[in-house]
Amino acid sequence: MKVARPSRTRANWRFELVLAAIGIALMLFLAVPAMAQALPAAPAPAPGAADALDRALGQLGGGNDAPMALSLQILIIMGLLSVLPSILLMMTSFTRIIIVLAVLRQALGLQQSPPNQVLIGLSLFLSLFVMSPVIGRINDTAIKPYAAGQINSTQMIENASLPLHAFMLKQTRTKDVTMFAQMAKSGPIASPADTPFSILLPAFVTSELKTAFQIAFLIFLPFIVVDLVVATVLMSLGMMMLSPTIISLPFKLLLFVLVDGWALTMGSLAASFVS
């Protein structure tokens, strides 16, 4: 005689599935913290310019308890960006480089080639190359310590100004500094390192303009010789109606390419800030 086994109803199957799902979820929930503890912690990134900017904006807003509003942060950042062109033009090597490249284009007889955007780009990246040691010292002595909380904002500004002051002072003529110091009636300066920025900045710009025009004069000389030779030949041939500029342009381009003019010019400009 066969014994009848009770058949599982649909409700029993659902109950068992729910229990299995709960068990799997508990296993996963307990396993995730264990895996997280087993994984090594990622090293914290070194503080940089972004951290320094966040800390400066937080201090202006009154600390962590009263952070600065986003609109004020955007306003301050936009104000700093509006000052950056003046800093780039007047406190770096950009002025000398852009003037020399513009005069070089004029000496070649080219009006819009290379275009202004290319000249500005070349000047900008060559300025970054020349200023990279100064930028590195500013980052090491001012930005990183301030972002790490080792110095305050006053010390950061002082540490950041020292490398820039040394660079500008090295490129400035003594007589230019003396002239502006006499005009400002600041009295005798104990040492060149004590020269204030209010006197050093106009003296630096004046020296940079003079140096740029001296380099431009030396660049102009060989191309003037080519123009004179071409004009003399055309006059001797009786071709007075033919413009000497049209004939001399390919010869000047050929001369510039044969002597590797771009590498010579860019290398000489970079070396002029070292010597």
Query: What would the DSSP string read from start to end of 69-97?
Result: PHHHHHHHHHHHHHHHHHHHHHSSSHHHH
pLDDT category, 101, cuts 50, 70, 90?
very high
Q: What is the mean pLDDT of residues 132-140?
A: 89
Backbone angles phi, psi at 98, to 5 degrees: -65, -35
What per-residue confidence (pLDDT) applies to 70?
A: 66
Res. 227: pLDDT tops 80: yes
Query: Distances from the Cα of 113 to the Cαs of 109, 116, 118, 122, in angstroms?
Result: 9, 8, 9, 13
Give me the half-sphere count of Cα atoms (radius 13 Å) on the Cβ side of residue 124. Answer: 9
Res. 263: pLDDT tops 80: yes
pLDDT category, 211, cuts 50, 70, 90?
very high
Res. 33: pLDDT tops 60: no
Q: What is the mean pLDDT of residues 234-249?
A: 82
What per-residue confidence (pLDDT) applies to 206?
A: 92
Res. 76: pLDDT tops 80: no
DSSP H helices in the chain: 10-38, 49-60, 70-90, 94-108, 116-138, 144-147, 153-170, 174-184, 197-236, 244-258, 261-272
**Sign, CA torsion 134/139/142/145:** negative
What per-residue confidence (pLDDT) applies to 32?
A: 45
Res. 49: pLDDT tops 60: no
d(CA 203, CA 197): 9
Are the C-beta atoms of 89 and 123 separated by less than 8 Å? no
Q: What is the mean pLDDT of residues 117-144?
A: 89
Give me 103's structure tokens.
């005069």
Q: Which of 85-94, 167-176, 218-227 has the lowest mean pLDDT?
A: 85-94
Burial class of 192 by CB neighbour count within 10 A (0 to 12, 13 to 18, 19+): middle
d(CA 38, CA 57): 38
Are the C-beta atoms of 268 and 216 separated by less than 8 Å? no
Question: Tokens 């649909």 correspond to what residue?
Answer: 10
Res. 210: pLDDT tops 90: yes
- Minimal CA–CA distance to 94: which of 49, 134, 143? 134
